[in-house]
Amino acid sequence: MKRMDEDIVHFDLTTGRPADVVSTLRRRVSAYTREDRVGRFKIGITNNPSGRFSNGYARDYDEMIVLYRSPSRDSVSQVERDLIEHNEEITRNRIAGGGGDYGEPPYYLYLVVRYK
């Protein structure tokens, strides 16, 4: 069981236009979700990474890695859709993104992982 004071939200941020960053983000997702280390993972968007992890994922996932930041909801949604589609066979996402109200910018794209 994790202690709530553990550093479980990590920032490995990239910024920029989706077309300029998507290949880098695909590689990062692949590196963070290697089959020999990760049992499951999910990709999402929030404007409050720590709050989202503690209120939505802390029970079922071990860590959140924040990968991308943008002031544009359209940009972060575009990146989310691409990454979910690229990983559709192995991610726990039921839909290809766009599942909620994200509040005010900046917006963050995250990856939550459950280790084996």
pLDDT at 115: 94
Q: What CA–CA distance (Å, rounded) separates 52 from 49?
A: 5
Q: What CA–CA distance (Å, rounded) separates 4 from 37?
A: 22
Q: Quick: pLDDT tens for 1-10.
A: 444 445 699 9
Contact 40, 84 (CB under 8 A): no
Q: Name the residue among 90, 76, 102, 99 with its Cα closest to residue 32.
A: 90
Q: Quick: pLDDT tens for 65-90.
A: 999 999 999 999 999 999 999 998 89
